[in-house]
Structure 1
Amino acid sequence: MVLKECVRGLKELRPLTHLLLPLCFHWIAEAMTVSVLVDVVTSALCPGQTTCTEAIYISGLQQTVVGIFKMVVLPLLGQLADEYGRKPLLLITVSTSIFPFAVLAWNQSRESVYVYYVLRTISFIISQGSIFCIAVAYAADIIEEGNRAAAFSWITGFFSASHVLGNLLARFLPEKYIFVVSIVLLIFGPVYMHFFLAETVEWVPKMDRDSTFLTKITNVAHKRYESMRDAAAIVFKSPTLRGISFVLFFYELGMSGISSVLLFYLKAVFGFNKNQYSEILSMVGIGAIFSQILVLPLLNPLVGEGWILSLALLASIAYGLLYGLAWASWVPYLSASFGAIYILVKPATYAVISKGSSSMNQGKTQGFVAGVKSIASLLSPLAMSPLTSWFLSSAAPFDCKGFSIIVASVSMMIALCFACLLKPDEKLSHDPEDEIEAPLLRES
């Protein structure tokens, strides 16, 4: 039965080969840098120290700025992907990571780290979240609705597999080669897409040659506003899309808060370095591959996306609480094991959103809901950065160094409450007149 589902999943993914291959190289390249970045940043900003308050605050500031701009950029990119095609938007988003890592490959001084943060912030604004949204919309264009949950799970499974490979490379490659190899892989992605990725959206240009430049700018701004308003109407009129927006808001509020401070917390409390980070991230990735490629495709036809989502949220709560209460260096490894389950939040929510929207609005709805998530990602570091620094310092009111992570877990409990109220099978009927300007999907 398991083998049969695997073969079926691979057949479903065959049309996505030219999408997934470059994305896997892109994800490997980004994952390679995660475990070494903490050491590089800490060494540059706080030489000779294990705790770097400046790095924690800069990381939190970066996440806040990214969240502010992503509220607008993510829905906008989703709309543009529906109107002008998936391929050009993917080429733009996957190319942005090249420049910040090129800076660190060239120099790792204090000034270079600041330049890296500026460029990486711009890169995150354009690419963080949008790559998945556009990739999911691309998959929805060519895969039948009944098979999308399994396909989305395979896509996120490849994402996890890429992270495992990236972490293994980071574990065994000398530090001085990590950024160089990463840049080579990051360049490969957009080059491959340019030559081999087929477009799934047919763009019909409008004849407005006689319009003035100012008129064109005004029309573009008005069109973007109307498209944003339509996306909001689609989401808020649908009980399913509205409910999943609340789930993702509170889940992201907690999980992004944890991820923004976790590595600095582990370094300060347990003295973790690149090797321990790679081990933990690889452990999460290996479990995530198994759960996304085998478990979700088997369970989804039996219990549905809603049940899987609730189970994954329960695991994310346990993940956060164990990190926050960690009393020994082995506890973070135990906590990381729950990553194999909470990782299912992502494919389950993609499937719920895809089912709750029409085939013509996949990019628009995925992008809008991702924009809602970005609001949470900008709010969480405002509390997590100072709270983490406070409880890691000697001025903490009581001895609980992971108190901020425990607080973040409460937000994920609220997300679970909203998930329990979801009815993923509900679908809002769409008026065809509202979709006159929607893109024409090519028959696959």
Structure 2
Amino acid sequence: MVIPAITDVTMSALCPGKDECSLAIYLTGIQHAIIGLGTLVIMPLVGNLSDIYGRKAMLTVPMTLAAIPLVILAYSRTKNFYYAYYLLKTLTAMVCEGSVHCLALAYVADNIPENRRASAFGILSGIGSCAFVCGNLSTRFISTASTFQVAALVAVIATLYMRVFLPESIVNDGISTRTNSKDEADVSLLDKDSTKNFQIFKTLPSLDDTISLLRSSKTFSQAAIVAFFSNVAEHGLHASLMYYLKARFHFDKDQFADVLVITGVAGIISQLVLMPILAPAIGVEKLLSIGLFFSCAHMFLYSIAWSSWVPYVVAMFSVLVVFTAPCIRSIASKQVGPSEQGKAQGCISGICSFANVVSPLAFSPLTALFLSESAPFHFPGFSIMCVGFVSMIGFIQSIMIRAAPPISNYKVNSCNNHVEP
């Protein structure tokens, strides 16, 4: 709900009456970079802790914190309140950004067999797209003030629903209460002994742990590289697109919502209908390459948009673009054991967070420059075209990924850098 409205709120607070504001672009970029640095540390930690204390316990923290900044803008959107929101959002997002999605993926991996995970991840993303569409439709038809009030209320309801109705998939001693095979149950029993004297500092992921996980499987490391470049491109597009559309075609909250609704509907069709059919038929590796190819194409088309109707048409490309994230997560999930799903998803999320640091530092200044009057040449979409080239690097790397046998009944040994049964 907040995404279509926040650009107008930011511009109104910082540069009232203008369609181009370098300060807004720089502040947004700095915020994304700081959040990325925070989540780079927090994401692997959250994933590791969820393997020990359970997904539900760890979900409570980010879902609770996420509601707090919304309350500020629900009360007022003046300059001082915007800065208070900006500061609090930056701090809370270090814990919240991506945590819910990461833990939800690990939760699904706890409860779904390997041969159905790609479809399950796609369905989970599709349900997220449904929520995305509902949120943007709501924003389209209610006032800005009401948008933040309703968003805060929904965040509170979501947290309460999770606490009351979501069953835990891992108990406090680190044993999965839902296993898909006898072997997985045996691994869980072994984990019980290894975590009896667990100390909190032992769960802190080190660089060696991450390197060990990346080296444990060539397929996992390739998926991590693709995740990095695709997320650099994705965050670069998200950081630039709305400011670009506002400066180029004078879009406002309603037009942003329309574009995002089209994107969300395309994502629903793709993830709930196409992906469950295509993933078993052609494999997640090929589906990943298809998604990245169309990601490049739609970024290039955004960059050369010649009329205000073009962004609406380009948004329909999302029917194929959204394959990327579920495919990466599915590939990574199959390369670790059942007791390390949180660690694997946390590692990928940490890499995505690092991409979120790099992307705004590279593309926010470029966007501000080419939307200003001091641009070296007239090409408002130049930064978005550069984003497309970054996505192309991820596409090239994805072509090199070959399907590897799942390592579901093995566990990565972070000390000896090998895989042991």
| Shorter-chain TM-score above 0.5 | yes
State the partner residue of 1:62: 31
State the partner residue of 2:316: 337
Match of 1:81 among 44, 50, 73: 50
* CA contact 1:261–1:385 (8 Å) conserved in 2: yes
What do the CA deviations read for 1:152-186 (whole angstroms, capped 9, x no partner)?
11100000010111111111112221111111111
CA distance in 2, matches of 1:400, 1:260: 17
* CA contact 2:133–2:260 (8 Å) conserved in 1: yes
CA distance in 2, matches of 1:127, 1:83: 19
CA distance in 2, matches of 1:257, 1:417: 19
Q: Secondary structure at the match of 2:167?
A: coil
* CA contact 1:238–1:427 (8 Å) conserved in 2: no
What do the CA deviations read for 1:184-223 (whole angstroms, capped 9, x no partner)?
1110011111111111112229xxxxxxxxxxxx953344
CA distance in 1, matches of 2:162, 2:236: 33
* CA contact 1:284–1:339 (8 Å) conserved in 2: yes
Q: 1:222 to 1:362 in 2, by over 3 A?
A: closer
Q: 1:405 to 1:201 in 2, by over 3 A?
A: same
Q: 1:132 to 1:424 in 2, by over 3 A?
A: farther
1:348 aligns with 2:317: no
Q: Which amino acid aligns with 2:201?
A: A
Match of 1:396 among 358, 361, 375: 375
1:53 aligns with 2:53: no
State the partner residue of 2:91: 122
Match of 2:398 among 419, 423, 442: 419
State the TM-score, normalized to the length of structure 1: 0.85
State the partner residue of 1:316: 295
CA distance in 2, matches of 1:428, 1:145: 10
Q: Which amino acid aligns with 1:221?
A: F
CA distance in 2, matches of 1:150, 1:124: 29
State the partner residue of 2:194: none
What do the CA deviations read for 1:81-104 (whole angstroms, capped 9, x no partner)?
101100011111112221111001
Q: Which amino acid aligns with 1:296?
A: M
* CA contact 2:236–2:359 (8 Å) conserved in 1: yes
CA distance in 2, matches of 1:341, 1:347: 12
Identity of aligned residues (%): 35
Superposed, 1:231-242 pairs within 5 Å as 231-242=210-221
- Structure 1, unaligned runs of 5 or more: 1-31, 206-217, 436-444
Q: 1:429 to 1:176 in 2, by over 3 A?
A: closer
Q: 1:320 to 1:432 in 2, by over 3 A?
A: closer
State the partner residue of 2:223: 244
1:224 aligns with 2:204: yes
Q: Secondary structure at the match of 2:293?
A: helix
* CA contact 1:245–1:369 (8 Å) conserved in 2: yes
CA distance in 2, matches of 1:330, 1:237: 47
Q: Which amino acid aligns with 2:27?
A: I
State the partner residue of 1:94: 63
Q: Secondary structure at the match of 2:334?
A: helix
* CA contact 1:240–1:426 (8 Å) conserved in 2: no
State the partner residue of 1:284: 263
State the partner residue of 1:255: 234
State the partner residue of 1:44: 13
- Structure 2, unaligned runs of 5 or more: 175-197, 415-421
* CA contact 1:85–1:202 (8 Å) conserved in 2: yes
CA distance in 2, matches of 1:44, 1:135: 35
CA distance in 1, matches of 2:165, 2:73: 30
* CA contact 1:67–1:376 (8 Å) conserved in 2: yes
State the partner residue of 2:339: 360
Q: Which amino acid aligns with 1:278?
A: A
Q: Secondary structure at the match of 2:297?
A: helix
**Greater fraction helix:** 1
Q: Which amino acid aligns with 2:395?
A: L
Q: Once the 2 structures are TM-superposed, how far is the Cα of residue 307 of structure 1 from its aligned partner?
A: 0.7
State the TM-score, normalized to the length of structure 2: 0.89
Q: Which amino acid aligns with 2:318?
A: G
Match of 1:191 among 160, 166, 170: 160
1:386 aligns with 2:386: no
User: RMSD of the alignment, in Å?
Assistant: 1.8
* CA contact 1:250–1:412 (8 Å) conserved in 2: yes
State the partner residue of 2:353: 374
